[in-house]
Chains A and B, each alone.
Chain A
């Protein structure tokens, strides 16, 4: 039944753990749409034929329809709408909450391609490769305008917004190669901003991953932090120096110089590299230079991963 409806509606294969349940909910809404649209049309058509004007017809009393019919219809419709909201929103919350052990891959959109940064620091490939059956979290940002990372076979998309970091996660359930499309209009190359995600069985993924020299993204980030002089002001042992220590900074709540409290998440950390004075941690001098243009998207992602490796429970 699922397969029949999926084909009838022209939906792509269900290649992620969430695709099937999302499709089932979609069938129920679209099925209801068909039924009520045709019912409304048919009932109105029936009235049109039944009550059409006939000159000289016998007089007959035709009172207004009873109120409870409309009341019942409204109550039924509202119930259906709320039920869809409850099921849909619980699915949505699941789509938002990545498991802790997910494989984190950074994705950077730019006009007009996607770049991937794997936990071991590799960035070269234009195809995204992910292991079958393991949760994968994509950490998205953009270098220029808004893009949207869209994998129809996973039923997932999320905007890649410049100056912000967004996330999405999935568990691929079918090996194969699937389309990656850009779903947010981004200029003349928008429709050519296509890529592929290749789902590999775990052994193949390990072999592919192991074929590269071992280095992980966090240690790449550490190298970068050394090379760009970050550690001259930021310590890594938790003692504050000219700037907040890197240890325990990731996802901690910090108080800013203007009194606001923010969580030092990916978006905040990236912003602090590119525009340090925008949100300065209270108690430190405004001396950090901007690394805009000096650190590319993959570099910034690597430094964020380095900070993540220094988080404290």
Chain B
């Protein structure tokens, strides 16, 4: 009996209050949109094989890159890890039987679907040619369906806010007895930071997009200079949301990496405090760096210096995380498995992509590299390279948790290799294109850039092949993979304390937990003593006040972590 078939019936899924089912529906939906956005990208890459308009004309090209950006940002990356994986695992990781507001959770899914339908309708029926950034006065004067797309994105934003509120309330109020803030799993901290950004930043996006739509329809004179507006004002408002939105995508990914690293090295994080502080640091300082998108937009020199400095500060928090993950591997007991291989790819792409971000945050360098393929390569290294590999790491890591079965490890390693190599081959040439001065969003280009574009397209085909392979063996694994057992990775993390797949209510009522999520032994002597399977580590029914009756390491739970 698991949440998959209890209760049974299609209606019980469509109107479910079970956070796991809502999460699964989100996952299925965003995977569909990832495939759609990927298909758009593939057509773009293929048409860039020649310098002219061989495959699609400029007008179609503009609609395609807009569709690619809008779908990938708002219909895949922003909801994928928070709304999809977060919904499933946050309650499981804090010992809750559901989120704080299950009906609001269901509503957030259907509101997302409604918004996504509006967006896709606008993109396919007529098309939108503004780019995902909707810069006026182009967006307020275009005859394409920009207004409808903006309204669709607004609606998906409402869904984001609902999810964010729900997570904040859940993490504050639904933690199981015995689970303090200092034992909170790092993925939950990451989702908490993300939820804060979702709740604070998304309203600004909603407001801005509504104003663009109003300016387009009623000529209010907000952003369009012909009617007395200021396009640079839009840029400020847009990036006030869209820069923190980058952290909506990457923070949950970082949470996934923290979990995977600890589980597969069987090692507590070398500094729990560093990860938590850097998570909150990114969430807060990330709000103050939006101006680095506007170094050549006519902003004052003082503002440029200030935003450049703040961007360096937010980069340091990311560096702290990388140091901590690597030092966690030191002295661990490392199990080689696909999720960890994805984390390796993640670390390489994230460090290189992050450093290329430092390059464009360096004010004088941005003047040349701004709006070139260098920037395209930079944010794809972070957003696709890091977010996508973390998403895939999470899918593989939690696959047995969610389905109770195991995929083929051999195929998974092949898929991981194809995705990683395909990705590097796609985007490394784009750094060189940017160096050479190739601006982004070009339907045609000077002929001397062709060789690098061809290499990039070959990589994209390989990446697409790797993704299809991954989809294929995961589907096979769901249908007829071998039974995985409750805790195949021998993880101590809390979500494995319930059976795999979990029952509808996750845990029996009245559970008390002892210990932290990373109670791995620091010495091999400890390791031989106990790495109990999850079923034993579960402290179901332990009487309140009698934590000693549980199975686990004989250790004071409060001292399990470093000082946060």
Contact = CB atoms under 8 A, between A and B. Distances in A.
Contacts of A226: none
Contacts of A95: 364, 367
B522 A150 contact: no
Interface size for chain A: under 10, 10 to 19, 20 to 34, or 35 or more residues? Answer: 35 or more
Given A44-B326, A158-B298, A187-B129, A92 B231 contact: no
Contact of A63 (B137, B309, B331, B435): B331
A190 B442 contact: yes
A96 interface: yes
Contacts of B348: 37, 40-41
Contacts of A92: 295, 301, 304-305, 308, 363-364, 367
Contacts of A59: 523-525, 527-528
Contacts of A52: 334-336
B63 to A, nearest CB: 10
Range class of the B interface residue count: 35 or more
A146 B326 contact: no
Interface in A32-74: 32-34, 36-37, 40-41, 43-45, 47-48, 51-53, 57-65, 67, 69-70, 73-74
Interface in A133-186: 144-146, 148, 150, 152-153, 155-159, 161-164, 166, 179, 181-186
Contacts of A18: 364
A275 B228 CA distance: 7
A65 B335 CA distance: 20
Interface in B510-541: 522-525, 527-528
Interface stretch (A78-86, A117-125, A212-220, A244-252): A78-86
Contacts of B305: 89, 92-93
A34 to B, nearest CB: 8
A44 B356 contact: no
B31 interface: no
A150 B320 CA distance: 36
A12 B364 contact: no
Interface string B297-309: 1100100110011
B368 A155 contact: yes
Given A59-B524, A70-B327, A40 B362 contact: no
A29 B358 contact: yes
Contact of B358 (A53, A60, A84): A84
B332 interface: yes
Interface string A6-46: 00011110000010001001100110111011001101110
A311 interface: no
Contact of A89 (B129, B308, B370): B308
B143 to A, nearest CB: 11
Given A11-B436, A41-B347, A161-B298, A187 B364 contact: no
B355 A36 contact: yes
A152 B524 CA distance: 58
Contacts of A184: 135, 371
Contacts of A63: 331, 522-523
B361 to A, nearest CB: 8
Contact of B329 (A25, A48, A185, A192): A48
Nearest to B364: A91
B319 A64 contact: no
Interface in B442-463: 442-446, 452
Given A29-B358, A183-B370, 7 more contacts: A52-B335, A59-B527, A67-B271, A85-B312, A96-B301, A144-B141, A188-B59
20 contacts: A9-B432, A11-B435, A47-B334, A53-B336, A60-B523, A63-B331, A64-B331, A92-B301, A95-B367, A96-B301, A145-B137, A146-B138, A148-B296, A152-B436, A161-B231, A183-B372, A183-B439, A185-B440, A190-B58, A191-B445
Interface of A: 9-12, 18, 22, 25-26, 29-30, 32-34, 36-37, 40-41, 43-45, 47-48, 51-53, 57-65, 67, 69-70, 73-74, 77-78, 81-82, 84-85, 87-89, 91-93, 95-96, 144-146, 148, 150, 152-153, 155-159, 161-164, 166, 179, 181-192, 194, 275, 278, 292
